[in-house]
Amino acid sequence: MAGTSETGIASGSSPLGPIETIHAPVLLDECVALVTPALDGPDPWVVDCTLGLAGHACAFLKAAPAAHLIGIDRDQEALGLASERMAREGLGDRFVPVHAAFDQLEDILKDRGLKRVSAVFMDLGLSSLQIDERSRGFSYSQDAPLDMRMDPSQSLTAAQILADYSEEDLARIFQDYGEEHHARRIARALAQARQRQPVRTSAQLDRLVDQAVPRAHRAPGNPAKRVFQALRIEVNGELDKLVRTLPQAVARLRVGGRLVVESYHSLEDRSVKRFMASGLQAKLPQGLPVVPQSARPVFLDLTHGARKADADQVAANPRSASVRLRAVEVSRPIPAERIERWREESSQPVYRANMHPSRRR
């Protein structure tokens, strides 16, 4: 008989079934090929900033038998399931689970006495556990409370945002985080609807957006898709956490270390692309005849832009359709002033949202 975890879930399973079958890691072979060359040196450590159900993490450890892995996740349930999976596959002695947001990366490494690591990996998509577990409210395809918290211990939910934010602030979120062309129209409809009754479920929100967006001006797919994306980003502070984490990651990578990131929508990919480009370019005033050593590029482009899933990969795993995979290698010691500049640039919100007083790290 299978054992049972402290959550009451049978070992190796989630409420949705065996974890190996409910979540197919996106571009797994490509990610392993990009990460593992950095794990050849002495005492290699890799950080999986988005552990989920440990599909990528298990593959990294199997491909690099000398490596250790720190797995970070905001979701305690996912951490428990991932830890059980690691133990079951004989990898538990090389695995360190951490319950935290990934923008706490440097503190996590400091607490464990690690000055440098060999690779940092980020898969920014939602895990199947989050998407398919109805009570999370991430999906517009099934009715559920509007929660959307990756970490259930935080206070802010999507329903609170819809109840508390002004019409103007809702419009800004939908525009900035969802790139929604009908942001003001949808925000107005929500502000009017909540005067009659609170908007608390995904079905209510889906119906309101459907009624608000003119059919003649709709993009393909469900018109609520961008609104749900915007709310999820605001609830979890996803973009601000991402831009804060990227400088932390490269500051802790050894020379030859690699940063590998999978993103799933244009806002994420734009942030990753912009950051990586800043390390692939020389930083100097125009007109200098010679590039000073301190201004030379610090990254080597491993993917030469973004890699995408091919038709066969999308057919096998439809959630890979929107993935963009980018990776760089630290090619020389990064000057302290460049890291400090990146930190300063990442300290301010990239977008105009993030207005709720209960926003948490």
Considering only CA atoms, which of 345, 301, 349, 300 is closest in space to residue 325? 301
Query: For residues 354 and 240, is the Cβ–Cβ distance under 8 A?
Result: yes
Q: What beta strand segments (E) does 90-190 contain? A: 95-99, 117-123
Cβ neighbours, 10 Å, residue 3: 9
Q: What beta strand segments (E) does 74-160 contain? A: 95-99, 117-123
Alpha-carbon span 358 to 361, nearest angstrom:
10
Supply the DSSP symbol for 50: T
Residue 123, classed as helix, strand or coil, is strand
Amino acid at 94: R
Considering only CA atoms, which of 260, 256, 299 is closest in space to residue 280? 299
What's the first-to-final CA gap in the chain, in angstroms? 40
221: left (phi over 0), alpha (psi -120 to 50) or beta: left
Supply the DSSP symbol for 237: T
Q: Which two tokens stand for residue 98?
A: 């951490």
Q: Extract the annotated binding site for S-adenosyl-L-methionine.
A: 54-56, 73, 102, 123, 130
Pairing verdict, β 17-18 and 13-14: antiparallel
Q: Extract the annotated binding site.
A: 54-56, 73, 102, 123, 130
